[in-house]
Amino acid sequence: MQDININIQNNDGSRTTLIGPTDMSLSLMEFLKGSDYDILATCGGMALCATCHVSVVEGFDKLGEISDDEYAMLDTLPNITDTSRLSCQLKLNDSMDNIVVKVLGDH
């Protein structure tokens, strides 16, 4: 196992690269919160609140299948995109190396 690069697209279009561990079973939400991103994660990672909503700018095809519960939650959002995911449902793994995400959660 090795660390992976997670790229965050900031509101001004710039990108910040973070190094994420793949050996701790962290979700992308937990990793982003731990990296001081403004994610409420109100439901604690149960796919019930969508406050950890991200748009996957690059690398969407590297992610696992979306669950029915996750899709149902995303479908309630006014700012859903074709590449929206709940970051609580994405466990950091080797296939996610170099993905680019933009944090869209409810603030």
pLDDT value at position 105? 77
Contact between 66 and 85 under an 8 Å Cβ cutoff? The reply is yes
Predicted structure pTM score: 0.93
> Contacts by 63-70 with C-beta closer than 8 Å and gap 24+?
63/90, 63/95, 63/96, 63/99, 64/90
Q: By percentage, how much of the chain surpasses pLDDT 70?
A: 97
57 dihedral zone (left: phi>0; alpha: psi -120 to 50; beta): alpha
Mean pLDDT of the chain: 94
What is the CATH code of the structural domain delimited by 4-103?
3.10.20.30
Q: Where are the domains of the chain?
A: 4-103
Residue pLDDT, tens place only, 33-51: 999 998 999 999 999 999 9
